[in-house]
Amino acid sequence: MAYDNLTLGSLLRLVLDRLDRDVEAAYRDRGLRFKPRYTSIYRLLAANGEMRVGEIAAAMGLSQPSITNTLAAMRADALVEIRRGTNDGRERIVTLSFEGRAIAEELGTQWRQTAAAASSLNGDLGISLEKVMRDALIQLDRRPFRDRMSDSGSTPMGAGSDS
């Protein structure tokens, strides 16, 4: 397939879709009910024990609704337990469930294999894809894409991003 006609947003989504599809298949092959989008939340909870939804959102730089949606899926897969806070009934406290804790070792093995595959891809690319993505996020924190679009005036058709 030729990728020359795809814009930045389409290319980013396509790369993410392919990575997630293959990693999710590897989880299934191991008999794990786990999705790539769970990883960061799982690691935070494993490291910190219980956390409030707002703390998870802040640590990941994502919105609370986004985190809440992922947590609902994790709860449906029996990986987390969510309870009301004692001081504020609106507050939600999240912990790994027994089932969530029980798969930690198997997840660690899978994550090492995933890291090795990422290293292989980085070697083929001649760059670290993670470093490029982190650097892009740092630059977008410094100067948002919207500002860059405003500064550049009009963009010719087919150039730039379709995000």
Burial 149-162 (b: 16+ CB within 10 A, else e): eeeeeeeeeeeeee
Domain for residue 61, yes or no? yes
**Residue in this structure with the two tokens 């397939």, named with its chain if needed:** 1
- 23 within a domain of the structure (yes/no): yes
Claim to verify: residue 25 and residue 40 sit in the same structural domain: no
* Angle at alpha carbon of residue 157, lines to 153 and 160, rounded to 5°: 65
The confidence score (pLDDT) of residue 37 equals 96
- Please tell me whether residues 68 and 20 are part of one structural domain: no
Same domain, residue pair 27 and 37:
no
Q: Does a structural domain hold residue 84?
A: yes
Q: What is the pTM of this model?
A: 0.84
Contacts of 67 (CB under 8 A, 6+ apart): 41, 53, 56, 57, 60
Residue 155's pLDDT is: 53
d(CA 126, CA 19): 18
74 burial level (CB within 10 Å; 0-12, 13-18, 19+): buried
Sign of CA dihedral 18, 20, 23, 29: negative
Count the neighbouring beta carbons within 10 Å of the beta carbon of residue 110: 19
Tokens, residue 162: 């379709």
123 domain residue, yes or no: yes
Residue 73 lies in a domain: yes
pLDDT at site 98: 97
Beta strands 92-96 and 80-84, pairing class: antiparallel
Q: List strand residue ranges (DSSP E) for the chain, in order.
A: 51-52, 80-84, 92-96
Show Cβ contacts of residue 118 under 8 Å, excluding neighbours closer than 6 positions.
129, 130
Give the span between the Cα atoms of 61 and 113, in whole angstroms. 26
Domain that holds residue 110: 9-31+103-149
Is residue 156 a part of any domain in this protein? Answer: no
> How many structural domains is the chain composed of?
2
What average pLDDT values come out for the chain (163 residues) when binned by 10 residues?
89 96 96 96 97 96 95 97 84 95 96 97 96 95 92 59 56
